[in-house]
Structure formats: structure tokens, C-alpha cells
Amino acid sequence: LTGTQQALVLIKDIGSDNIKIQYDIYHMQRMEGELTQTMTAWADKIGHLQIADNPRRGEPGTGEINYDFIFNVIKQSDYDGWVGCEYKPLTTAEAGLSWINQYR
């Protein structure tokens, strides 16, 4: 699958309520853009958010994606799924998790 619309069609065709999208923010920024618009429109179909910044797949705050805005949209939504990290820390793994402190 290369986009949200393909995933939505597949979910509709299967017709099962327990199938959700793993929304990869890094890839969707590269493939589609309009991240928060898509996430808001299809929040009930998203079961897992995967984060990494763009373009180097670093931790949030190291690239072009406005994670302050994205996390605020997530917080204000009814999203109740998982958020997973799949990025390459700029230094150590421990230092690469320091960004999370500002969102606690």
C-alpha cells in the first residue's frame, strides 16, 4: 500500500471492524502530506501512529514535520491507539528519547 486511500478501500472491502491503519507519519509526509487533515478525517480507522521526522527519519523535532502541532491535534482528538517510534536517534537512544519530556 502506498497511501491512506488504498488502505481505506482495503478496510472497506474486508468489512471487519477490527482492522485499522498503521499510520506512518514519516512515510505519509513523503507520500501524501496533509498529515493532520488525513489523521483527523480518518481517526476512527487509525489504530497505530508511527512517528519519525522527515527527511532523515530522526526523532521528532529534528526535521520538517511540526510535531508540536501534530501532537496537539492528536491530544485534542478522540484517538485512543498506540504511538510507536521508528526513527534513527541523532546520538544515543537515551538522548533520542528526550523529546518526549515536553509532551508529558
Mean pLDDT over each residue of the chain, to the nearest integer: 93
pLDDT band at 102 (very low <50, low <70, confident <90, very high): confident
Nearest by Cα to 24 from 83, 103, 90: 83
pLDDT of residue 78: 80
pLDDT band at 79 (very low <50, low <70, confident <90, very high): confident
Across 14-24, average pLDDT: 95
| Cβ 53 vs Cβ 27: under 8 Å | no
Across 49-62, average pLDDT: 95
Domain parsing of the chain, residue ranges: 4-103
Assigned CATH class of 4-103? alpha beta
- State whether the Cα torsion 52-30-48-103 is positive or negative: positive
Across 10-14, average pLDDT: 96
For the chain, what's the residue count? 104
